[in-house]
Structure 1
Amino acid sequence: MLYFQRSAVLLSLAVLLTSLTACTNSNIGKSLEQSLAADPRLKDNPVIFGANQKPNSDRQNPNQSTQPTVQLPADFPKDIPIYPNAQIQEVSAATNSENKVTTRWLSSDPSNFIASFYRNQLPSNNWQVSQQPADDSGGTFIAKRNDLQLVVSIQPKSVTNAAPNQPQTATELLIEYQPNSTTTAQASPNPSSEITSNDNAPQPGNPQFIGPVQPEGSLTQPNGTSNTSNSTPTVTSSTQEFSDLNKAPQELQKYIQDVARLGVLSVESQATKNNSTATTNLFEPNKNITRREYARWLVAANNAMYANIPSKRIRLASANAQPAFSDVPKTDPDFSAIQGLAESGLFPSLLSGDSTQVLFRPDAPLTREQLLMSKVPLDTRQALPTASVSAVSQTWGFQDAAKIDPKALRAILADFQNGEQSNIRRVYGYTTLFQPKKPVTRAEAAAALWYFGTQGEGISATEALKLTQSQAQQ
């Protein structure tokens, strides 16, 4: 019975197909084809079966914008760089008590992308960066431009509901800005005691302060009136801030800042400065330092470190001294420092019995081996050890030890014995190539001057500055 039913079904299908084939080109066939065709409206409005369908009134207009409703303030400074892939989330408008605007942003990009963006964009847009993160994992940038103070905070955030194979973190970005004048007025309860030449210069004790400590009473008297006495000379660099220290190698920036706060990194001699009205706040950390500049810095740094120990200070030469070098006459602006180093034996000359050192070549670049020859004796304060090429090669592992001047081998070996306070380790890190004839940069020279002495018996620029400030307060 079942067999006959199945045969009847197959026969009916065959008759139907034959009929359809016969009427393909007929009106009946076309009507049947249109009735069985898919609805063309589904192409533009697909329907997912099983999904909850909303009334037409609740459906989103395809032309409707999906931008966030939070908008930037109308007076948002156009000079502030905005990270391209960040969306604004919140704006805290300025209040009467604090003229500061805070904007909060969110980005799906990692924090190192955003930190790298601001590390490049701020200096290139003429912002003076006074603080920046030590690495790109997050942190705070503080910068100023004209009368605008800017703070950019970058903070990674965890995303607990991230989908599989999607980033598990987001980055929150806070951009705060306010005029410098407002900040200064609020910070200083006594406007009459402000330094009008640079209201926003960081003060001693602030990690961003750069420049020598101004002696007590040189700016204001105890009664709050200005001191106009000529007994205290005006130090221009006390209110000067180097604006390009962020260009120095990151490992050396801390050393440079500490030494600069002692006021010993003058970019020009005092005599030249007195004859010129132009001033500069550029340190140019990656520029090669000349032998003249290094002599000036070396004397100033040593004497600042040992301000209370006269026996360890380098004596400046008198104007009547017979020049040790034929190319550094008495009229040279740095004669007193260069001549003083020659008379102390820190620079080889005719005075030390070296008949080949007739010229000092003050404007020639300082080399690495020359740096060590003059700095290490001020660390050890004793006779340097006997050294050879093999001894330096075995201790330091320098592949180019044979290229080092024999006179510099003793200083380099003694520097190795100074352990973690070694100048080479502090300035150049780990290296198997010393490159003795390579010029020294300003940043490297400043880092070498950060510490004087041996392990356990020395002083750093940080400690010297604290001592100077303590004595000034007393």
Structure 2
Amino acid sequence: MTVLTSRCFFRVASIAVLLASVSACANNQSGRSLEQMLGADPRLENSPAIAFGSGDNNSNQAAPNTNIQLPADFPPEIPRYPNAQLQEVTQSTTRWTTSDPMNAVQSFYQNEFQANNWDVRQPTQEGILEAQQNGLRVTLTIPATTNQSSTAQPNVAGTEFTLQYTRDTTTTANLSTSAETDNVPQPGDADFIGPVLSQPTDQTAQTVDNTAQQTNNAQTFNDTNQAPQELRQYLQDLTALGVLPLQSTSKSSSSTTQFEPSKTVTRREYARWLVTANNQFYANSPAQQIREASSSAQPAFQDVPSSDADFPIIQGLAEAGLIPSPLSGSSTTVLFRPDAPLTREQMILWKVPLDTRSSLPNASVDAVQQTWGFQDAAKIEPRALQAVLADFQNSDRSNIRRVFGYTTLFQPKKTVTRAEAAAALWYIGSASEGVSAQDALRLQQSGTSQATESEN
């Protein structure tokens, strides 16, 4: 205790001597220097307090520049990424930053473009996405060095991207000229509800009007972005072709723009889409089409009477031998169960005969295991086993690969979503010869153009 008391007395005495020295030297240069060293920093009086030990120094972070505004010609159709900060504006180009990762930005724009019917080109290289709509072309570029630090906040990880936009002035001029001449709403205007009746001023304007008319007449859904990315293009093509349901999928409304891609598809719905897709794909080949049954035909199924709205289609599939029924020798299949969910093995069993246009091959569990490698091949119903084996021979054109990708489990009793059912119908035929929805669309558009030319 005596040692501690002596030490304390020595420290107090030292401080007193030091203060006395400062006071005594206040009028000379050494005293003023010492006073400045021990005094408080006057710069801290108007500065916010710094939390020592936090590891952050907010004074080193650059605040976002709120004075930069979008140019007057920035197209309102271009989607705006949430929480992105505008950093720079040059001619037809804007530069942005966000704290989100690169893949989130690219996925956002790809989904937005597709949901709003932009023509999206497949990326030619990583970090670049191009989309076009009504003469407006947008290029999203995310530099490869992004995601390291944000330009706005150097110490915060983030993503920098640019949006470059250009307009096709020829298309815009043609539409403007037509509007001035005809004095009627044009395709793309809010008041446009149908084809323009007046004669176009030139061939270019006529082409624009025809294309816009087809786009307005085509059915569109506003929830296709809810489908898996790999299946969205299939939905868009089949929708444009008119294969997917024109009637409402909701009991509360007579019409809808909801496709509900994740909803389970029923056997009735799939039968309807199957016939519609085949007959649309082979619109110019009556011999390849499925004929609907007459209402006077004897029903093949006890639960699908002739009074059923889908009787002509379901009965037609049974009479064509494309689905199991007493007519095809399956005497125990007396019920169709139209409102039951469609399973994977049923989808393949109904679809593959349209691809091969021939009888199904003999199949065994071992054969399917050796070809597909399915661990659950033994769970597949024997008749469906034949269709699964035949589907393997279509290589990359097979329904299973197109819908489910690579898998070692077929899960034959698992139900099928509406998006998966549509993907299976996107292509009909073998690996060497067949028709896709895109082929059918081109044929349809070609026929429309020829009819228009003959009328003129």
**What TM-score do the two structures reach when normalised by structure 1?**
0.67
Aligned partner of 2:241 among 258, 262, 269: 262
Aligned partner of 1:356 among 332, 336, 339: 332
Match of 2:116 in 1: 129
1:398 aligned to 2:396?
no
The correspondence of residues 46-445 of structure 1 with structure 2, limited to 5 A, is 67-71=65-69, 81-90=80-89, 104-107=94-97, 109=99, 110-116=101-107, 129-131=116-118, 137-139=127-129, 154-157=140-143, 171-174=160-163, 187=175, 189-191=177-179, 199=189, 219=195, 223=199, 238-268=217-247, 278-445=254-421
Percent of residue pairs identical: 47
Match of 2:9 in 1: none
Per-residue Cα deviation, 1:190-224 (whole angstroms, up to 9, x for no partner):
4569788985799xxxxxxxxxxxxxxx9466857
Q: CA deviation at 1:419?
A: 1.1
Instruction: Give the counterpart letter for 2:276 in structure 1.
Output: A
Per-residue Cα deviation, 1:82-134 (whole angstroms, up to 9, x for no partner):
54252342388xxxxxxxxx7723326553243355678x69xxx95334686
Q: Given the superposition, is the C-alpha separation of residues 280 and 445 from structure 1 closer, same or farther in structure 2, using an over 3 Å criterion? A: same
Q: Given the superposition, is the C-alpha separation of residues 108 and 128 from structure 1 closer, same or farther in structure 2, using an over 3 Å criterion? A: closer
Aligned partner of 2:423 among 437, 444, 447: 447
Per-residue Cα deviation, 1:9-34 (whole angstroms, up to 9, x for no partner):
xxxxxxxxxxx979928845642495
1:468 aligned to 2:444?
yes
Instruction: Report SS of the residue matched to 1:330.
Output: coil
Contact 1:184 1:199 in 2 (8 A): no
Q: Given the superposition, is the C-alpha separation of residues 359 and 393 from structure 1 closer, same or farther in structure 2, using an over 3 Å criterion? A: same
Contact 1:306 1:312 in 2 (8 A): yes
Distance 2:122 2:187 in 1: 30
Match of 1:31 in 2: 24
Match of 1:43 in 2: 41
Q: CA deviation at 1:472?
A: 2.4
Distance 2:378 2:63 in 1: 72
Q: Over aligned residues, Cα RMSD in angstroms?
A: 4.7
Contact 1:134 1:250 in 2 (8 A): no
Higher helix share: 2
Instruction: Give the counterpart letter for 1:433 in structure 2.
Output: L
Contact 1:368 1:438 in 2 (8 A): yes
Instruction: Give the counterpart letter for 2:141 in structure 1.
Output: Q
Instruction: Give the counterpart letter for 2:103 in structure 1.
Output: N
Q: Given the superposition, is the C-alpha separation of residues 460 and 318 from structure 1 closer, same or farther in structure 2, using an over 3 Å criterion? A: same
Instruction: Report SS of the residue matched to 2:429.
Output: strand
Q: Given the superposition, is the C-alpha separation of residues 88 and 373 from structure 1 closer, same or farther in structure 2, using an over 3 Å criterion? A: same
Contact 2:220 2:239 in 1 (8 A): no
Q: CA deviation at 1:417?
A: 1.1
Q: CA deviation at 1:174?
A: 3.2
Q: Given the superposition, is the C-alpha separation of residues 220 and 86 from structure 1 closer, same or farther in structure 2, using an over 3 Å criterion? A: closer
Q: Given the superposition, is the C-alpha separation of residues 291 and 199 from structure 1 closer, same or farther in structure 2, using an over 3 Å criterion? A: farther
Distance 2:362 2:15 in 1: 114
Segments of structure 2 that go 5 or more residues without pairing to the other structure are: 1-12, 45-59, 201-212, 451-456
Distance 1:403 1:386 in 2: 17
Per-residue Cα deviation, 1:413-468 (whole angstroms, up to 9, x for no partner):
00011111111111111100000011111111111111111122111111122122
Instruction: Report SS of the residue matched to 1:393.
Output: helix
Q: CA deviation at 1:167?
A: 9.8
Q: CA deviation at 1:351?
A: 1.2
Quick check: which has more Rg, 1 or 2? 1
Q: Given the superposition, is the C-alpha separation of residues 320 and 86 from structure 1 closer, same or farther in structure 2, using an over 3 Å criterion? A: same
Distance 1:22 1:418 in 2: 94
Question: Structure 1 residues 336-345 or 353-362, which shifts more?
Answer: 353-362
Q: CA deviation at 1:371?
A: 0.6
Instruction: Report SS of the residue matched to 1:362.
Output: coil
Contact 2:98 2:159 in 1 (8 A): yes
Distance 2:236 2:365 in 1: 35
Distance 1:137 1:193 in 2: 44
Instruction: Report SS of the residue matched to 2:116.
Output: strand
